[in-house]
Amino acid sequence: MQADHLSEAVIFSLVASHVALVTIDREPARNAVNAAVTQGIKRAIRLTDSMPDVWTVVLTGSGTRAFCAGADLKEVSAGGLRQLITNDGGFAGFVHARRTKPWIAAVNGPAVAGGFEIALACDLIVAAEGTQFALPEVKRGLIAAAGGLYRLPRVIPKQLAMELIATGNMISAARLHSLGAVNRLTAPGAAVTGAIQLAEEICANAPMAVRESLAISREALDLSDDELRQLSDQAQERVMKTADFREGPLAFIEKRSPRWQAS
């Protein structure tokens, strides 16, 4: 497995057929987001979107001490807050970035503050048993301004989300899994392996159909049914023009696995 540094704090590698792994590599700092992380993730989004052979992306943090501890407060206190935000991607260059391909968060350690918000910004979450999540910003006179305040109430019951936001308390991966906010639980230390397995399941499907489907699903709670129907119709028109639209039914008729072209 060849690994490339997209910055001094972010590593990119191809780990399975059509699956890329992006790793925040600041384990001594609990993978906290600094300028190098932000620039590296920004490059990772551009790179994976531009690579035809990458269909799904797994995002993780190095080691098991933390998935990501949020913003690097040393950098913030030194006046570097603006370096942790991009105009198009928001915090870490990620939480508001438009991405065409599925991203899976592989959480092997605590995901707190901005780290939880990064996980919530992914399409799917795989977490190891024993890991915990929290939005503790209010404990420091701050707010979770990178999407956590509205994404968390969308994936767990509103009353519980409001409690977690107002108290800053931790919630376990197991409980989030029981509530549907974590897709899969793995053994301790095995979140990346579990996320890659999930990515491979996704990659067994037509990549263009997956991307178009997820693009609509991401808007499901923000747009009206009429707007979503229009987007669905437009997506269907685009998918019908692809080679994979013809390949899927043909493979079924011929009783073989499809040979997707991602076009």
Please confirm, yes or no, whether 201 is among the known catalytic residues. Answer: no
In the set 27, 137, 247, 254, the catalytic residue is: 137
**Structure-token pair, residue 38:** 């932000």
Cβ neighbours, 10 Å, residue 212? 21
Name the E strands within 46-179.
56-61, 85-86, 90-91, 103-107, 111-112, 124-128, 132-134, 171-172
In the set 75, 117, 200, 227, the catalytic residue is: 117
Per-position b or e across 62-94, b if 16+ CB within 10 A of its CB: bbbebbbbbbbeebbeeeeeebbbbeebbbbbb
Please confirm, yes or no, whether 163 is among the known catalytic residues. Answer: no
Q: Do the beta carbons of residue 133 and residue 113 sit within 8 Å?
A: no
Mind telling me the catalytic residues? 117, 137
